[in-house]
Amino acid sequence: MSDIRITNCHTHLFHTRHVPEDYPYPALRPFKKMPWLIKALAFGARVVGQHTAAEKLDRLYRFQQETDAGSQRDILDNLRRHYPSDTRFVVLPMEMSAFGFGTPEVSLSAQHDELAKLSGDPEVGRSVIPFATIDPRADPQATELWRAIDGLKFRGLKLYPRLGFAPDDPVLMQHVYPRLEELNLPVMSHCSRGGVQGRYLSNYWADRYTEPEAFIPVMRAHPKLRICLAHFGGQRDWDAYVNPDRKNPLDDAFNRNWQVAIRQMIGSGNYPGLWTDISYTLFQFEDYAPFLRIFLTGEDEEGERLRSRVLFGSDYYMTRQEALSEKAVCFRLRNILGEEIFRQIAEENPAKWLGEA
């Protein structure tokens, strides 16, 4: 294979002490403190012949083991085993103090500080591209965000609107986007119907805050801002697209499909700052990868635009819940897309999105 320096544009290193103890349910505390209970349930499921349930519990156990890592460095070491030694990782922290489940043991500022220290580590620091994050309800002046960017030299912004805020929140529009555009720094935003959700937020409003169209006011106000809508719309919308015969009239994914919306918005050329990544979604590899290949090999103008705006990402360590490993997905993707397109989404496009090219 040709030499491709991969940049994984979507990874996580935060761990259980960055997450409120009551999330997602207080009743799960025993499983967090005694993960062997999950292994016991998996063993019991196998005994009674429930092998599918046992496999899911095994994946949950792997995920729990990852979140119980003692430091972000420990998780990074696990991640780096799946990739060539020169691979770079955009690391996306999480701010989980204001979405209704209590206060995490470790503050966002401490999470940022640990990530900054990791990015300066003489052994592994060159592989880390740190992003800062904000929940505008927790930081109305964006003080911690700019401390991380100006003081710690972080390289971009991660947003998670599903926690309970709109992308065009006044705090972001007034105190964040103008300077990001001025500094030529990119934005990564969660764009999937699944994931972490505010405790008191309805599914309707969680989707309205997260959907691709929610960023249109931001892109119109800041046309030079490079915004990546992660997950290419998410697994639920990919499944609705791939399996239209399963149509559920109550499922908005069939009527207002986010994957289709992202392709149309990028292909139109009306939003030159819009990007997307394939993180997590492509771990359902056999179902979705052939469609991705068709989308990325289109020879018309829309296909060329899309190909230039898709980023490789995995969503590690969330992917520890899946059967395929990071390495397996990366190699399969490289094989089905071919070297030229894989190089574009894993090396060339990330350099442009990060402002390096």
Each residue of 3-19: pLDDT tens digit?
899 999 999 998 878 78
Q: What is the pLDDT of residue 248?
A: 82
Q: Locate 230 and state its tokens.
A: 């992660």
Q: Locate 330 and state its tokens.
A: 């990366």
Residues whose CB falls within 8 Å of the CB of residue 141, separated by 6 or more in sequence, listed in order:
171, 175
pTM for this one? 0.89
Q: What is the pLDDT of residue 59?
A: 45
Residues pairing with 128 in the sheet? 89
Block residue for tokens 């993707």:
333
CB atoms within 10 A of CB 159: 29
Block residue for tokens 């090219």:
357
Please, what are the domains in the chain?
7-26+71-353 (3.20.20.140)
Q: What is the pLDDT of residue 88?
A: 98
pLDDT along the chain (357 residues), means of 10: 88 85 60 56 64 50 56 92 96 94 92 97 97 98 98 98 98 98 98 91 96 98 98 94 86 94 97 95 85 94 96 80 78 93 97 96
The rounded distance, in Å, linking the Cα atoms of 108 and 96 is 8
From the list 155, 346, 88, 114, the residue with the least C-alpha distance to 79 is 88
The rounded distance, in Å, linking the Cα atoms of 145 and 108 is 10
| Dihedral sign computed on CA atoms, order 142, 143, 147, 148 | negative
Helix (H, G, I), strand (E, B) or coil at 9: strand
> How far, CA to CA in Å, does 139 sit from each of 78, 134, 177, 269?
32, 7, 15, 34
Under 8 Å between Cβ of 233 and 259: yes
Work out whether strand 227-229 and strand 187-189 pair parallel, antiparallel, or are unpaired.
Answer: parallel
Q: What is the pLDDT of residue 282?
A: 79
